[in-house]
């Protein structure tokens, strides 16, 4: 009887071993596009804390410097998931049946400090002290049809300035926009609070307004994937979103609501620092990471009305096909919507 028990124990151990090997072999390799911003922390946390692994996903991050290239990479299959702003490129790819928005991420809310509207010191001294004075001014954007372009026009609308009276200047990358604003080559820009705060502290840039005052409930970024994943690999999408939702909960608790202990928050910040402000020592990066935190929608919930408003703006500027619909762009079956 003793030998039999040992044999059974050995068999059980081997079975567990083979199950573990099978699970490891079955893990799906997934590439996720990220920008090196605090708002991409939920994905970083989900990987660092093993949430993706628990869902059978082996995640690799692929860094980008702007939203539109990420959308192209989704369509081409170079990455599987992205989390960034809706862009004209993304909408056009959705119209072609290549990509789908499946959830929401960063959002302007009343309870959290949001994106700032900035003016160069030279423009401020010359009278650009509020968005109402934007007529004739140069507003920095990364690309035509980017979220920066959308914000520039929505601010103009709210400030009573004709859209055509603002000169949007495409500069391709955020570092180029920053350099141009500081040097006075452009007059205005809008950006997340930690970058805005660092710029205004330097004295070359002045805050003149808040995006939330002009675009209430703005769904700043969304989660998206390929249409093929939605139609052919739905369980994969669901597993990705389940893991991401846990990362979002930790991110909000640590950096937005500040209900997480300081020790656990510091550990998350150190985890995020591997990808965000990684060119700086942790003691320098830590306060910048924390200052950049805006609310991410719990469960990756999506404000469809905000996305619809963005879509209508793209159409009004002839940046996307006139017949593209919200159903072409968004699949609402994965997360809560409002």
Q: Which of 140, 127, 133, 137 is nearest to 195 (CA)?
A: 140
What pLDDT, on a 0 to 100 scale, did the predictor assign at position 198? 87
CATH label of the domain that carries residue 80: 3.40.190.10
Cα 65 to Cα 36, 84, 173: the distances in Å are 8, 11, 6
Q: Pick the more confident residue, 70 or 241.
A: 241
**C-beta of residue 198 within 8 angstroms of C-beta of residue 283:** no
Number of folded domains that form the chain: 2
Q: What is the mean pLDDT of residues 236-248?
A: 98
pLDDT digits (tens, 9 = 90+) for 132-158: 999 999 999 988 888 899 999 999 999
Evaluate whether residue 121 is within a structural domain: yes
Lowest mean pLDDT among 9-13, 73-77, 109-113, 204-208: 9-13
Say whether both 175 and 196 belong to one domain.
yes
pLDDT digits (tens, 9 = 90+) for 97-133: 999 999 999 999 888 888 999 999 999 999 999 999 9
**C-beta of residue 92 within 8 angstroms of C-beta of residue 161:** no
Q: What is the C-alpha separation between 86 and 82, in angstroms, rounded?
A: 11
What pLDDT, on a 0 to 100 scale, did the predictor assign at position 161? 96
Evaluate whether residue 337 is within a structural domain: no
Q: Which of 36, 39, 86 is nearest to 61 (CA)?
A: 36
pLDDT at 94 over 80: yes
Domain that holds residue 132: 116-213
Q: What is the DSSP-derived secondary structure letter of residue 36?
A: S
Lowest mean pLDDT among 11-15, 54-58, 274-278: 11-15
Q: CB within 8 A of 46, min separation 6: which ones?
A: 52, 59, 243, 244, 246, 247
pLDDT band at 11 (very low <50, low <70, confident <90, very high): low
Q: Pick the more confident residue, 68 or 146.
A: 146
Q: Which of 227, 100, 103, 128 is nearest to 184 (CA)?
A: 128
**C-beta of residue 189 within 8 angstroms of C-beta of residue 148:** yes
> Mean pLDDT across the chain, nearest whole number?
91
Given 192, 213, 234, which residue is the final one in a domain?
A: 213
What pLDDT, on a 0 to 100 scale, did the predictor assign at position 285? 93
Q: Which of 44, 41, 184 is nearest to 122 (CA)?
A: 184
What pLDDT, on a 0 to 100 scale, did the predictor assign at position 3? 47
What pLDDT, on a 0 to 100 scale, did the predictor assign at position 113? 85
What pLDDT, on a 0 to 100 scale, did the predictor assign at position 172? 87
Question: Is the torsion defined by CA of 258, 263, 264, 265 positive or negative?
Answer: positive
pLDDT at 167 over 70: yes
Lowest mean pLDDT among 80-84, 154-158, 192-196: 192-196
Say whether both 93 and 227 belong to one domain.
yes
What pLDDT, on a 0 to 100 scale, did the predictor assign at position 302? 97
Say whether both 52 and 146 belong to one domain.
no
Number of alpha carbons in the 13 Å side-chain half-sphere of residue 171: 21
Say whether both 321 and 232 belong to one domain.
yes
Give the strand order in the sheet containing 188-191: 167-170, 138-141, 188-191, 116-120, 205-210
Q: Pick the more confident residue, 84 or 29.
A: 29
Kindly report the number of other CB atoms within 10 A of residue 193's CB atom: 19
What pLDDT, on a 0 to 100 scale, did the predictor assign at position 335? 96
Say whether both 316 and 191 belong to one domain.
no
């Amino acid at each position: 009887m003793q030998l039999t028990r040992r044999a059974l124990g050995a068999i059980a151990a081997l079975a567990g071993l083979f199950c573990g090997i099978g699970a490891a072999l079955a893990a799906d390799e997934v590439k996720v596009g990220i920008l090196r911003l605090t708002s991409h922390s939920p994905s970083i946390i989900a990987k660092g804390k093993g949430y993706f692994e628990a869902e059978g996903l082996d995640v690799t991050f692929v860094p980008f410097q702007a939203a539109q290239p990420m959308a192209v990479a989704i369509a081409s299959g170079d990455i599987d998931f992205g989390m960034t702003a809706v862009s004209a490129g993304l909408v056009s790819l959705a119209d072609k049946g290549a990509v789908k928005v499946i959830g929401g991420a960063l959002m302007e809310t009343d309870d959290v400090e949001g994106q700032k509207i900035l003016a160069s010191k030279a423009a401020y001294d010359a009278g650009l002290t509020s968005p109402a004075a934007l007529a004739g001014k140069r507003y920095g954007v990364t690309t035509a049809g980017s979220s920066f372009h959308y914000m520039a026009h929505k601010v103009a609308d709210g400030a009573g300035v004709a859209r055509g009276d603002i000169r949007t200047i495409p500069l391709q990358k955020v570092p180029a926009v920053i350099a141009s604003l500081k040097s006075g080559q452009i007059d205005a820009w809008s950006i997340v609070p930690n970058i805005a705060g660092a710029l205004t502290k330097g004295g070359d840039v002045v805050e003149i307004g808040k995006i939330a005052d002009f675009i209430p409930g703005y769904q700043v970024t969304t989660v998206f994937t390929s249409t093929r994943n939605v139609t052919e690999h739905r369980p994969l999408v669901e597993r990705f979103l389940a893991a991401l939702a846990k990362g979002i909960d930790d991110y909000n608790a640590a950096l937005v609501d500040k209900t997480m202990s300081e020790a656990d928050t510091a550990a998350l910040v150190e985890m995020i620092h591997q990808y965000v402000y990684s060119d700086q020592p942790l003691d320098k990066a830590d306060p910048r990471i924390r200052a950049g935190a805006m609310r991410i929608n719990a469960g990756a919930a999506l404000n469809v009305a905000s996305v619809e408003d963005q879509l209508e703006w793209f159409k009004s500027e002839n940046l996307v096909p006139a017949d593209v619909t919200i159903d072409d762009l968004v699949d609402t079956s994965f997360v809560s919507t409002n």
